[in-house]
């Protein structure tokens, strides 16, 4: 179940780059050869972000080529 | 069903097939969103291209990142690669399912190359140091990494083990990964190449069942050839399956137990070792 470790890495990258701003969604790009199962990653995402600074932030998926596996975009909450 | 998060993607489907009846049952409901359950996302998914340029101002801003999720591992792997090159050490990442004979292959290799090429071994298993003990008894330095619940070795584990084992210039460092044909494909350890070991008792179709791994390797060793006749192993079919997912893979048919075919593999290792 390496998706758990991957979810932790994604959460780390998101928190580091958000620099304290409220995130709405983290979007990862996954290629068909990346060896990553979206359902498992989604499941792990909720586990690893629970009771952290990014709890409730959505994990979104974007299609990509080859073995791409990157955090492609961070979407922030609209500021009031 | 939703076409954006992957739950509608047939490639990500988890299913159970009864080979007698041909009936296929979808099992991914527990992790995904379930069958016939339309789910509305509260947000729009943004797809590549359909929302460029971004029309967001400072409010609800989207920033592009392209941050490699395995970036931390890849960075350490690159450091390992430099460390190995700087010391004239050739590192091979040996992957297989449990029980294909990786450790026996290494024991025989150590004995055959004794006095010629120095060989050290990093052993990865979830638990026990049995394999490292076997390697030591065969006459080589070994270090055991126990990953606990972990299903694969990562670059930082290899970095620590390599420093501890301190391989000599001109030597071969064999990294015996955790027996698993899935996850180790993703994790670069800094090796020169990955080598997959399969055995005749596993059947001919391992390469097509685990294509990610067989695509990632440069060599495939078919072990336990001494048992081939007893288990009706079809070597030509196995070679065709390897070629289907990885046409460039070098293939060595050996019996690590009897030594048959081991000379060709050892000759290849002599080529790979850097002359100091």
Residue contacts between A and B (CB atoms, under 8 Å):
113
Dihedral angle sign, alpha carbons of residues B188, B191, B193, B198: negative
Query: What token pair was written down for B53?
Result: 């340029």
What's A19's domain CATH number? 3.30.2320.50
| B78 & B183 share domain | yes
Mutation to test the B interface, candidates A3, A37, A40, most B Cβ within 10 Å: A37
Burial class (CB within 10 angstroms; exposed 0-12, middle 13-18, buried 19+) of B103: buried
CB distance A35 to A1 below 8 Å: no
Q: What is the mean pLDDT of residues B181-202?
A: 94
| B127 & B28 share domain | no
CB distance B71 to A10 below 8 Å: no
Of B58, B69, B187, the CB nearest to A79: B58
A55 inside 8 A of chain B by CB: no
Among B41, B64, B87, give the residue marking a domain's end.
B64
Weakest-pLDDT range from A18-32, B43-57, B149-163, B234-248: B43-57
pLDDT at residue A67, rounded to an integer: 87
| B55 & B108 share domain | no
Among B47, B64, B81, give the residue marking a domain's end.
B64
Weakest-pLDDT range from B84-88, B120-124, B150-154: B150-154
Q: Quickly tell me which residue has 């586990």 as its tokens.
A: A47
pLDDT at residue B37, rounded to an integer: 36
pLDDT at residue A58, rounded to an integer: 96
CB distance B153 to B178 below 8 Å: yes
Question: How many whole angstroms separate alpha carbon B159 and alpha carbon B153?
Answer: 11
CB contact under 8 A, A62 and B46: yes
pLDDT at residue B124, rounded to an integer: 92
A65 inside 8 A of chain B by CB: no
pLDDT at residue B21, rounded to an integer: 62
| B57 & B75 share domain | no
Q: Which domain holds residue A34?
A: 3-76
CB contact under 8 A, A38 and B60: no
pLDDT at residue B150, rounded to an integer: 77
| B127 & B206 share domain | yes
B50 inside 8 A of chain A by CB: no
pLDDT at residue A78, rounded to an integer: 86
| Chain A residues with beta carbon closer than 8 angstroms to that of B28 | 39
Say how many domains are in chain B: 2
Instruction: Label each residue of B88-140 as H, E or C.
Output: CCEEEEEEECCCCCHHHHHHHHHHHHCCCCCEEEEEEECCCCHHHHHHHHHCC
- The answer to whether residue B4 scores a pLDDT higher than 50 is no
Of A17, A37, A75, the CB nearest to B62: A75
| B127 & B144 share domain | yes
Q: Which domain holds residue B7?
A: 1-64
Q: How does residue B6 score in pLDDT terms, banded at 50, 70 and 90?
A: very low
| B261 & B163 share domain | yes
Q: Which residue has the higher pLDDT, B229 or A79?
A: B229
CB contact under 8 A, B69 and A10: yes
Say how many domains are in chain A: 1
The minimum CA-CA distance between A68 and chain B, rounded to whole Å, is 8
CB distance B188 to B155 below 8 Å: yes
Q: Which residue has the higher pLDDT, B117 or A33?
A: B117
CB distance A36 to B97 below 8 Å: no
| B161 & B193 share domain | yes
Q: Quickly tell me which residue has 């350890």 as its tokens.
A: B189
- The answer to whether residue A59 scores a pLDDT higher than 90 is yes
CB distance A56 to A17 below 8 Å: no
pLDDT at residue B24, rounded to an integer: 60
| Chain A residues with beta carbon closer than 8 angstroms to that of B9 | 38
| B77 & B94 share domain | yes
| B37 & B78 share domain | no
Cα dist from B239 to A14, B137, B185, B229, B247, whole Å: 44, 33, 20, 16, 10
| B21 & B132 share domain | no
Q: A59: which strand partners?
A: A26
What's B171's domain CATH number? 3.40.50.300
pTM above 0.90, yes or no: no
| B139 & B226 share domain | yes
- The answer to whether residue A73 scores a pLDDT higher than 90 is yes
């Amino acid at each position: 179940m390496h998706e758990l470790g991957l979810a932790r890495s994604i959460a780390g990258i998101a928190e580091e780059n958000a620099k304290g701003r409220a995130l709405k969604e983290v979007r990862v790009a996954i290629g068909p050869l990346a060896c990553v199962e979206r359902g498992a990653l989604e499941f792990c995402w909720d586990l690893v972000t629970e009771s952290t600074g990014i709890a409730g932030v959505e994990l979104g998926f974007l299609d990509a080529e080859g073995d791409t596996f990157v955090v492609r975009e961070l979407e922030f909450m609209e500021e009031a | 069903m939703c076409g954006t998060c992957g739950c509608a993607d047939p490639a990500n489907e988890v299913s159970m097939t009864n080979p007698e009846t041909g009936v296929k049952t979808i099992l991914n409901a527990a992790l995904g969103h379930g069958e016939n359950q339309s789910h509305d996302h509260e947000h729009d998914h943004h797809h590549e291209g359909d929302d460029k340029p971004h029309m967001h101002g400072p409010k609800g801003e989207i920033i592009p990142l392209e941050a490699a999720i395995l970036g931390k591992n890849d960075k350490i792997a690159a450091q390992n690669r430099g460390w190995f090159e700087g010391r004239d050490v050739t590192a091979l990442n040996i992957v297989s399912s449990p029980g294909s004979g990786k450790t026996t292959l290494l024991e025989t290799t150590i004995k055959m190359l004794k006095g010629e090429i120095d060989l050290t071994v990093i052993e990865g298993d979830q638990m026990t140091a049995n394999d490292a003990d076997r390697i030591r008894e065969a006459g080589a330095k070994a270090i055991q990494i126990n990953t606990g619940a972990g299903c694969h070795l990562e670059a930082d584990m290899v970095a620590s083990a390599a420093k501890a084992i301190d391989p000599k210039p001109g030597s071969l460092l064999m990294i015996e990964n955790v027996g698993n044909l899935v996850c180790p494909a993703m994790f670069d350890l800094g090796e020169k190449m990955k080598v997959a070991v399969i055995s005749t008792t596993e059947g001919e179709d391992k390469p097509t069942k685990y294509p990610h791994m067989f695509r990632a390797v440069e060599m495939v060793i078919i072990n336990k050839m001494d048992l081939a006749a007893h288990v009706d192993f079809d070597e030509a079919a196995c070679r065709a399956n390897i070629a289907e997912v990885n046409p460039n893979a070098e293939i060595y048919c050996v019996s690590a137990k009897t030594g048959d075919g081991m000379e060709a593999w050892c000759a290849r290792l002599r080529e790979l070792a850097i002359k100091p």
